[in-house]
Every structure is written in C-alpha cells, then in structure tokens.
Structure 1
Amino acid sequence: MAKFLHVADVHLGFDRYNSKVRTTDFFHTLWDVFERYAIGEGVDFVVIAGDLFEQRMIQPAVLNQAQLCLQQLQAANIPVIAIEGNHDNCPYGTKTSWLRYLSDWDLLKLLEPAAGEQFYLPWDAETRRGGYIDLDCGVRVLGSSWYGAAAPKAVEQIAGAVSALPPGPGSTVLLFHHGLEGQIARYSGALRYSDLLPLREAGIDYLGLGHIHKYYAVDNWLFNPGSLEANNVEEGAFERGALLVDLVDGQVNAQLQTDYRQRPIVRLSLKLRGQEALEDIEKLAIALLDGAIAETRLIPDQQPIVELRIEGQVGFDRLELDTKQLQSRLHEHCGALIFLLKYDVDAMAYGTPLMDDADRHQVEREIFTDLLSAHNVYKKKAQSLATGLVDLKDRHLVGDSDESLYRLVEQMLNVPNTPTEHSR
C-alpha cells in the first residue's frame, strides 16, 4: 500500500489586499499541512499539482518560504513531485522557472513531458529531468505541462504516450493542472469529463488535478483538492484542503483534510429597507459585526478577514454616507486583519401619478413631494414642506425680501426665530 499527500494551488507569495501578514499566511498554511499530513501521517511521497507560487517572478523571501517547507520534507525523507501550473510556469522568453530551480537543488522532482517523439522519458537522477518516475512504494507518477486552451488535444497525446510506456508498478498517478466544467461559475475553457476519459482508458488510476480552488472528486478517480488558503473572500465558502490518499493496486481511498491553520473569513450582508436614518447605519453594522464574529468562535488573537456588504435602499442621497470613514471605523472596531466594505444601495424613488390637466402648481408640488418622500429625514412632513416650497418659490419670483423668505423657511422647518446673518 502507498500513501501520499495531494496539494495544489498553494500560491506562495500571494500579495492581494496589500497585507504582508496575509502573504505570510500562505507560507504558514503550507508548513502546517506538510507537518500534519505528510510528516505526521508518514506518507510515502507528496505531489503538488501546479501553482506552488502566486507569480512567475517571485521575491527572494517567497523562494525562501518554499525552500523551508520543502527542506522540512527532505529531512523526513519524503520526496516531493511537482508540475508547473499557469502561475509558476516559465516566464515568457525564458527557458527555466523557479520550480526548475528547486528541482535542480533536489528539493522536489519537476516532471515535464519531452518535446520530441518520446513524450515520456523516465526520471534521470543525474540530469534531474524526466516526465515520469517509478517510486519504491509501487506507484508510477506522471507529469504534464500547463496547456491552457490546448488541453483537449494534450489529453489525447498524453493518453497515447501512457499506453506506449513499458509496464510499471501497481498503480499509476497523473498530475494535470486544469479545471473540470460545472465546478465553479464564470470559468471558461474548462474540460468536460468525457475529454479526460481517454486517460482512464490508458491506465491512470488517480488523476490529480489543480487550478480550480475548490474541492471536487468524480467517480473515485478524478480528484481536485482545491487551494490550501482562500485567495479571495468568495473562496472562503469553498470546501478545499489537502487530499490524503491510500492507493493499493489501483484502488483509491482519498480523504480531504481541512483541519489546519487557515485565516478565518467572515462575510456579512446588511440589508437596508429605506427606513433607516443616515446615523443609524454605523450602529446597525457594528451590531451585525459583533454578533457574527462572536458566532465564529475565533481563536484568540486570530484576526479574521471581514467583508461587509451594505445593500438595499436608503432614504437619503446614497452619496451622503462617507464609506471610507465608515470602513475605517468598522475596521478598527472589529479588529480584522483586512476589512472590505461593499456599498451597493439605491435611493428610494417615489412617483406620484398626475392628471393630464394638472396645473403648474400641482406639478411642482408633486415633484417636491416625491423628492422629500425619498429622504428619510423629511418624508414624514413631505406634503407640508412641498406646499411651503411652492409658496417660497412664488414669493421669490414676486420680489419678497430675503428676510421674509428666511422667516418662511424657519416656519417650514420649525426652527426658532433667531436673528440670521442676513437679518442683522
């Protein structure tokens, strides 16, 4: 029996949200996964099905993170077998990659099909090159490249090359960095399951995928573990992790492992109905945040990533809410590592039907009434204020003094009759 760990889409060097702490999360996660499920479970080998790195060009600190994690396995005599994904394959115009560098330093074995007639060459320990490797635990592991839109044709080529190989040990694993259709929305270019079946017919017992950051498995043959960490808040809802696999003479038992160090993500929605005053929004948001974070039972001192979406309708001009200031205060209040505020509301609209023969005063009054009714502060007195505004306009047109116009406004708003700058 062979036991191995299947990970993909590690994305070391992740640099979104402008947070150095968040970048190091991906290193700590990989270290913890290797410690728990590779070393802790005594696996025979580890496979990385693409995208070890976030970018093709990486910073020295990111390379050091990869080396530290791989040295941890090297010290435990656990070999690591990897393929390149779309994030970490050779940069344009170059002939090598950072995965090739790590392979040359014997920290992993980068499997790459050959460009010549013999598609799959056996692993050569001296040149550190090859497309497949036969392991002492009785498993043959084959690699592949990042093919993009050419993946369907590549599957046919791989299947033919696998069928032409000499007999191997008891079980065969193929690593392939590509996605299966129907797993996530808005993903074009995914393969159909029928496109991959030639690989099964060619003798692949375990098809180990990467690329889509969500766990899925089909027919106990095709497996995608998903990313170890969420790359955005939407992925926080995905089931994902590392696959711990037992493989005996082609029979697969793969279990998804998720109990490891991950940054918690809290996503909330505050639905407004247009009845709330502007000054109530922050209070409602704080109450929602406090309740949700308490329910997640966070580990002490573990700052979450929080996204709050404010949606619905407001009874005031939507631009009156200073979203930057609100985001700053809410971020400070909840102590999140990253706080994202999404503000997507509409001002309440009113439309009073008018008769075709309505006169100018009626039209003006109804327009004023609709505008005032859409504002939470003035809607209760909309009709009386609308009548006052029509009167105010008429008085201004006939030349009433500024002092009398100000007195009318004070009466409309029930403001005490105090001297104004203009009346002094």
Structure 2
Amino acid sequence: MKQISFIHAADLHLDSPMVGLKHLPANILSRVRESTFAALERLTAAAIDHNVDFVVLSGDLYDGEDRSLRAQSRFRNEMQKLLQKDIPVYVIHGNHDHLDGSWVHLDMPANVHFFGSEVEMKTFHTKRGESVHLYGFSYQHRHILDKRVDDYQKVEPADFHIGLLHGNEGGKTDHDNYAPFSIKDLYEKQFDYWALGHIHKRTILSENPPIIYPGNLQGRNKKETGIKGCYYVTLTEFGAEKEFIETSDVVWDEISIDASSLHTFQEILHLCQLTIERLRKSGIGTLLTINLKNININDSKEKQVLNTDLYELLLDNENDEESFVWTVQLNLEDQLRFDRKNLINEADFYTELFATIDEYQIFDDALAPLFEHQLARKYLTRLTETEQKELIEKAEKLLIGLLYQ
C-alpha cells in the first residue's frame, strides 16, 4: 500500500513583537516573546519523532517583510535538525513575509524548498518509492487579491497531489480577502490534500479530501485563544488520517465568571482562584482575561477592595510558576441593567446620547493617530465590523454606568 506522512503547519510569525505586553514581569515577557521559537522547536521535534517524509509550511513564516536576522537564524537552526534526519521542507511565503520585502538574507539548508511567485509544482520521492507532486506559490507582494487557485493544474503521474495555498475562503469578512477561493474550487482540482494558511483559527473545511487550516503555531494576542499547533497527516490510496499536535508554549484564554450568587470579596476571590487553577496547563503559560459579571456586593468597603486589590491578589506567586496563569486583564461588571426606553423617559438627554451612538461612523478618524503612526501601523490591522460594534457596546455601558454613579 502506498503511503506518505508529513507535518502541515502555517502562520509561524516568527519573532512576532507581541506588542502591548510591556507591563508583564521580565521573565514572563521574555517567555512570551520567545514563544514563537519554542513552538517551532516543538514542530521540529514532532517531525523527527514521527519520522515524517516531509514538512509543508503554508505561508507567513516571518511576522514582517523585513524578516529579522534572529528569526531567520532560528528557523535555519531548526531546518538543519531536519536536514540531519533527511526530512525536506516545502515552503510558501504569505502576505506578511512576501517576496518584495527588504531584508538581509541568510542562506537556508539544502532541504528547504521555496516556491516562487507563480504557481509551480515540485516533485518529491520517498525512500520507499512513492511519488508526490506539491503545488504552490509565494506572495510577490503583500496584497494578492486575485483568484490564484485557477493556476493550480494537476500534473500526472504521481501517487499523491498536495496543494499549498495561503489565502481566504470566499465570504469570510473577518480576514483580508487574499488569494480568495471556494471549497468547490479546491474540489475541482482533485488533489489529495490542501495545506492552507492565512486563517489563524484551526479549521477543517473538508474531510475528503482534507482541506485544512491548521491555525497559527503560537497565539500572539487575546483574539487568538486556545491551544495552537500543526497537523501530522498520513495519506494512503484509501484516504487520510490526521492528528493535531500542540505546539503552544504560551496560551491566551478568556473566561467569564458569574458572581451573582456571591456577596463578599472573599467569596469572589476564592472563585477566581479556583478558576485559575482549573485553567492551569502543565508546562504551558497562560495569559488570561477574566470577565467578572453580575457583581452583587453592596458593602462599600468590600466593593472598594474589589476594585483596588483583587487584580493584585490574583497575580500573587504566578511570576514564579513555570505553568503560570497571568491575568492580563480583569473586567468588572456589576448588575447594572438598563432599558433604553426607560432611560429616554427619564431625561431627553438620553435620546440624543443613543442617537449619537447609533449613528457613530467615524472610527477611522478616531483611530487615525494609531493607524497613521509610523511604528504602530506596522502591527495593526483594521477593525472588523464585529469589533467596531463590540467597542461601541462597551462604550455605551461605560457611559451609562458613569452617569448612574
């Protein structure tokens, strides 16, 4: 029976700056900034442990078009480990590490094969004699908006055909619509596997044939929650088997805690501590956002302590934990509930306030100092419609809460 095995990963974003985390203790901050490299090392170890035939990396190896020397050097070191085990690596570049960037080049080991800016096919033969055709292209520049999937053409003969594509399934509004495609487009190519990249959330678009986004190798902000990793894939003439391999060294997590049944600071502290212990993962650090909802404390002193001391107490001793759970954000929400109609009946002011909120359309102007900043704009992406709506809702709640105080 003909059979091949490989690792499929994407969106490594090596040396990501992890912006906005300078408030972390030095040792935790250092570990977070090293996490993309630690994830790469786990990928390499998995490829060696499983004795795979090859590795495919579907775009955005590097976080920026300048491809830092540190990132290139660390990537080269890991590829040399695979070279020693005679494991080749097939790479496409995506929108973040496109070919038009400017960087100082470090040569890569001979086992690393890069695809050019036009769709091309590379041939691989296993030691057992199976033949594999791999198809893909690298982004020439950051914005590839045309439908490049049409350029993928199956070339026979080969035992297996694998497509590498860094792009966006049509219709997804939360991501830039780079190299768009539909599942139907990929079906029509009659490949045995599609190794996708660009979407950072692990997603299986199809089981047969497998059309898979493995997600990124390491979460980089609070929107990229949960364990990240890659897929170990075995293909035979009868189908595919896949196993998700965890590579995250640091995990982002978010949890909501209902405090409506709690009436003292001690009860709330205890519940938060229990929650933190439940979320602790052996050998992995966690950066946690806690949304403490329906706070029902009436005692003014206890309420003051909740606002001033709870956060610090939750951080106690976490600095010394290898499997730390560091609370990066604590959101307190009391049981304030409001009905727009009732508020409008209370005062005409609310009619004007809600109208202003509903008609707010100047996000670009409000955020211009950030998005036009010479340094900040390199690390920012435009807010989606969903994110804009969430910000407006939070602002409304904050305003009403302050007015009621």
Alignment match, 2:289: 307
AA matched with 1:201 = E
Partner Cα distance (2:65, 2:142) in 1: 16
Q: Find 2:96's aligned residue among 71, 87, 93.
A: 87
Query: Would the aligned equivalents of 1:149 and 1:189 in 2 still touch at CA under 8 Å?
Result: no
Report 1:22-421 matches (<5 A): 22-36=32-46, 38-92=47-101, 94=102, 101-103=106-108, 105-106=109-110, 108-114=112-118, 120=119, 131-137=120-126, 138-146=131-139, 150-151=144-145, 153-156=147-150, 158-159=151-152, 162-163=153-154, 165=155, 167-180=156-169, 186-187=174-175, 189=177, 195-217=182-204, 218-221=206-209, 222-237=211-226, 240-249=228-237, 251-260=238-247, 262-273=249-260, 280=265, 283-296=266-279, 298-299=281-282, 302-312=284-294, 326-335=310-319, 336=324, 338-343=326-331, 345=333, 348=336
The secondary structure found in structure 2 opposite 1:233 is: coil
AA matched with 1:290 = Q
Query: Would the aligned equivalents of 1:266 and 1:305 in 2 still touch at CA under 8 Å?
Result: yes
Alignment match, 2:347: none
Partner Cα distance (1:198, 1:298) in 2: 40
Task: Report the RMSD for the aligned CA atoms in angstroms.
Answer: 3.8
Query: Would the aligned equivalents of 1:274 and 1:348 in 2 still touch at CA under 8 Å?
Result: no
Partner Cα distance (1:211, 1:9) in 2: 6
Aligned residues: 320
Q: Which runs of 5 or more structure 2 residues have no equivalent in the other structure?
A: 23-28, 343-400
Report the Cα offset of residue 256 of structure 1: 2.8
CA displacement, residues 332-389 of structure 1 (integer Å, 9 cap, x when unaligned): 35444642124253684899x9xxxxxxxxxxxxxxxxx9xx78xxxxxxxxxxxxxx
Report the Cα offset of residue 227 of structure 1: 1.6
Partner Cα distance (1:276, 1:182) in 2: 47
CA displacement, residues 84-106 of structure 1 (integer Å, 9 cap, x when unaligned): 012211355x4xx67x7455x53
CA displacement, residues 169-212 of structure 1 (integer Å, 9 cap, x when unaligned): 221111001133577x733537886x343443334221110111
Query: Would the aligned equivalents of 1:57 and 1:91 in 2 still touch at CA under 8 Å?
Result: no
Report the Cα offset of residue 232 of structure 1: 2.5
Query: Would the aligned equivalents of 2:69 and 2:106 in 1 still touch at CA under 8 Å?
Result: no
Partner Cα distance (1:63, 1:187) in 2: 26
Report the Cα offset of residue 12 of structure 1: 1.4
Partner Cα distance (1:176, 1:47) in 2: 11
Alignment match, 1:7: 9
TM-score for both structures, normalised by structure 1: 0.64
Distance change (3 Å), C-alpha of 1:136 and 1:20:
same
AA matched with 1:330 = L
Distance change (3 Å), C-alpha of 1:285 and 1:49:
farther
Alignment match, 1:420: none
Partner Cα distance (2:338, 2:95) in 1: 51
Alignment match, 1:412: none
Distance change (3 Å), C-alpha of 1:288 and 1:186:
farther
Query: Would the aligned equivalents of 1:79 and 1:108 in 2 still touch at CA under 8 Å?
Result: yes
Task: Please identify the structure whose Cα radius of gyration is greater.
Answer: 1
Report the Cα offset of residue 113 of structure 1: 3.9
The secondary structure found in structure 1 opposite 2:316 is: helix
AA matched with 1:267 = E
The secondary structure found in structure 1 opposite 2:44 is: helix
Query: Would the aligned equivalents of 1:327 and 1:340 in 2 still touch at CA under 8 Å?
Result: no
Report the Cα offset of residue 307 of structure 1: 1.7
AA matched with 1:216 = T
CA displacement, residues 199-238 of structure 1 (integer Å, 9 cap, x when unaligned): 4333422111011122222142211111222223343246
Query: Would the aligned equivalents of 1:170 and 1:248 in 2 still touch at CA under 8 Å?
Result: no
Report 1:12-23 matches (<5 A): 12-16=14-18, 17-18=21-22, 19-23=29-33
